[in-house]
Amino acid sequence: MLDSSRDRVRASSQVYKELRITVVIPCLNEEQGIEKVLRRMPAFVDETIVVDNNSTDRTAEVASSLGAIVIREDVRGYGRSYKRGFSIATGDIIITLDGDHSYPPDAISYLLEAFLHLEADFLNASRFPVRDRHAMSFKHKLGNLILSLAMSILYFRWVRDSQSGMWVFRRSILDQMSLESDGMAFSEEIKIEALMHPTARFEEISILYSSRLGEIKLNPWRDGLYNLWFLVRKRFARRSAR
Ligand SMILES: Nc1nc2c(ncn2[C@@H]2O[C@H](COP(=O)(O)OP(=O)(O)OP(=O)(O)O)[C@@H](O)[C@H]2O)c(=O)[nH]1
Ligand SMILES: [Mg+2]
Q: Which ligand is nearest to the CA of 74?
A: 1
Task: Kindly report the CATH number assigned to the domain that includes residue 81.
Answer: 3.90.550.10
In this prediction, residue 17 carries a pLDDT of: 85
Strand partners, 202: 122
CB of 120 sitting under 6 A from ligand 1: no
Domain that holds residue 72: 2-241
Closest Cα to atom 24 of ligand 1: 216
Ligand with the closest atom to the CA of 29:
1
Nearest ligand (C-alpha, residue 33): 1
Measure the CA–CA gap between 145 and 92, rounded to whole angstroms: 32
Cα 30–35–41 angle (5° rounding)?
A: 120
* d(CA 183, ligand 1 centre) in Å: 10
Pairing of strands 167-170, 93-96: antiparallel
Q: How far is the CA of 186 from the centre of ligand 1 (A)?
A: 11
d(CA 181, CA 169): 18
CA 98 to centroid of ligand 2, rounded, Å: 5
In the chain, the number of structural domains is 1
Does residue 22 have its Cβ closer than 6 Å to ligand 1?
Answer: no
Give DSSP secondary structure letters for 125-158.
Answer: EE--S--STTTS-HHHHHHHHHHHHHHHHHHTS-
| pLDDT 10s digits, 38-91 | 999 999 999 999 999 999 999 999 999 999 999 999 999 999 999 999 999 999
Gap from CA of 96 to ligand 2 centroid (Å): 12
Mutate which of 34, 38, 100 for ligand 1 pocket (most atoms within 8 A of beta carbon): 100
Ligand 1 site, residue 88, Cβ cutoff 6 A: no
Q: Convert the pLDDT of each residue in 196-233 to its tens digit.
A: 999 999 999 999 999 999 998 989 999 999 999 999 99
Cα–Cα nearest to 120, from 201, 190, 207: 201
pLDDT number for residue 79: 98
d(CA 179, CA 96): 16
User: pLDDT at residue 11 above 60?
Assistant: no
Give yes or no for residue 124 CB within 6 A of ligand 1. no
pLDDT digits (tens, 9 = 90+) for 25-46: 999 999 999 999 999 999 999 9
Q: Looking at residue 16, what is its pLDDT?
A: 86
Does residue 51 line the site of ligand 1, with CB under 6 A? yes
Predicted TM-score (pTM) above 0.95: no
100 CA distance to ligand 2 middle (Å): 6
pLDDT of residue 10: 44
